[in-house]
Amino acid sequence: MGKAAKHNPRVKLITGLIYKDEAVFIKAKNKLRKKFGKIDFESAPLDFNYTDHYEAEMGGLLKRRFIGFAKLIPIQDLYKIKLFTNRLEAKFSISGNRSVNIDPGYMDLAKLVLASTKDYSHRIFLRKGIFAEIALTYRKDTFSRNDWTYPDYCSKEYIDIFNQIRKIYAP
């Protein structure tokens, strides 16, 4: 029988933001920086055209950017971070519609984990209505998809970004 050992790793916090208005992105980024500290990675804006899921709420011609934070976080805080980003999304909502979608997650040496409010067969309950899923796994010097990984997270463009962030996390 194995014995439980103390496990309290610190991991790299990342957020993916989907937005239409650059000014909203900047305001949301500033709130995230105030809460989580120095940003050590910011991607260029990427066209978000992998799904029309957000179009009715946020409009068309959406962009996505990824942000990485220098200060590592305790792994068990992911649910708290998702609750915070949900409140931030609500703060930036207009007439009940989000103007920014903020997807927090973390990276360690072996995987990229995303937080979600939605349960599904591949998601694990954390706390307070928040679930986690392993979106990507690091194998053979790059991130690789899983059967359930969102199509945009499987793209070469996103994989390249995550590999860049991993080099900052583990040079």
**32-84, pLDDT tens digit by residue?**
999 999 999 999 999 998 888 888 898 899 999 999 999 999 999 999 999 99
Domain boundaries, the chain: 10-169
Residue 111: DSSP 8-state: E
- What are the beta bridge partners of residue 100? 19
Q: Which residues contact 75 (CB under 8 A, 6 or more apart)?
A: 8, 9, 10, 11, 106, 108
Under CATH, what is the fold of the domain 10-169? Alpha-Beta Plaits (3.30.70)
Query: Is the whole-model pTM more than 0.75?
Result: yes
Give me the mean pLDDT over the 85-111 stretch: 96
Residue 15: pLDDT above 80? yes
Give the 3-state secondary structure of residue 84.
Answer: helix
